A and B are shown apart, each in its own frame.
Chain A
């Protein structure tokens, strides 16, 4: 595929994920004002930080009067999962110059990661898969800015916006991404263990339970894979 077709294919593949992220961005834009952020600061946070779950947690903590150290530590822990994404995609972007790697890293989100790792896993050896990465990343970025803006402009005119439960859109999106990946027992085990540990450790400070859950899921998946491989060798 050419550069343009990789780029355009990515924006098409991102469409469902953009739909799923929309309510999240709009609610963020609407709720940030009640946490004391100005319209400029709300848009600035989306433009510069570009990390939905961290942005949400920070504005909810701001409302409780938490200190800067707690806010930044929470940002760090909530976003540490992106280091795993960075590691997963590193073998595919290592050949690119820094002028590519820096912006692609800045735009690395859950949603972009989901479609991009799928594209890199495809068997064809297209030399322009980083254009696919760029398309997915930019689509997500523009969508997030637009939704934040809509939330800032119109959020106050919809009463009880947060009470509708539009956040379910994100759950449905992630379910739609994960379930088709569960093609073998180690993958299923990784998902179940991660989910169970996340529930068990939800009370840990700074969202550390998320990290414990991810680490446990990965460890169990890997151990099971090694176990299956050894059983096949013996058979």
Chain B
């Protein structure tokens, strides 16, 4: 398969998924489904974030004090809970992350 065919196939698959439910405007969901959909953002984003913190390389569990992803992730959760401010969470989290990486000698300097 050529690279361009691969890209076009990826584009078709991705669009088909995103359009899947928009394609049926007359469809109405039962109450139970609508209630369940309220948990989509929390569940999906946590399923991305938690492995990112505990397994930064995507393969190995890193429950250790030299895991800046885990420590700065916990700090970001704290900032988010206290401030409920998105930019403060991103800025504060990144600052703590790079301070930790610097202190741990993990930056390619």
Contacts and interface: CB of A to CB of B under 8 A. Distances in A.
Given A168-B69, A190-B42, A174 B15 contact: no
A37 B36 contact: no
A152 to B, nearest CB: 15
Given A173-B86, A221-B42, A165 B106 contact: yes
Interface residues of B, number: 75
Given A101-B22, A105-B18, A172 B90 contact: yes
Contact of A195 (B32, B50, B69, B80): B50
Contacts of B15: 105-106
Contact of B10 (A72, A93, A113, A170): A72
Contacts of A72: 6, 9-10, 13
B19 A175 contact: no
A82 B27 CA distance: 18
A68 B1 contact: yes
Contacts of B48: 53, 110, 174, 198, 210
A129 B39 CA distance: 22
A199 interface: yes
A113 B40 CA distance: 10
B103 interface: no
Contacts of B7: 41, 44-45, 48-49
A222 B36 contact: yes
Given A86-B19, A171-B53, A176 B39 contact: no
Contact of A182 (B40, B42, B87): B42
Contact of A191 (B3, B37, B38, B46): B46
Nearest to A50: B14
A149 interface: no
Given A49-B14, A218-B40, A174 B45 contact: yes
Interface of A: 15-17, 19-20, 36-38, 41, 44-45, 48-51, 53-55, 58, 68, 71-72, 75-76, 79-91, 93-96, 101-102, 104-106, 108, 110, 113-114, 117, 159-160, 163-165, 167-182, 186-187, 190-199, 202, 210, 213-214, 216-219, 221-222, 225-226
Q: Sorted from nearest, which 4 A-B pairs have the closest CB atoms?
A: A217-B43, A195-B50, A176-B89, A172-B93
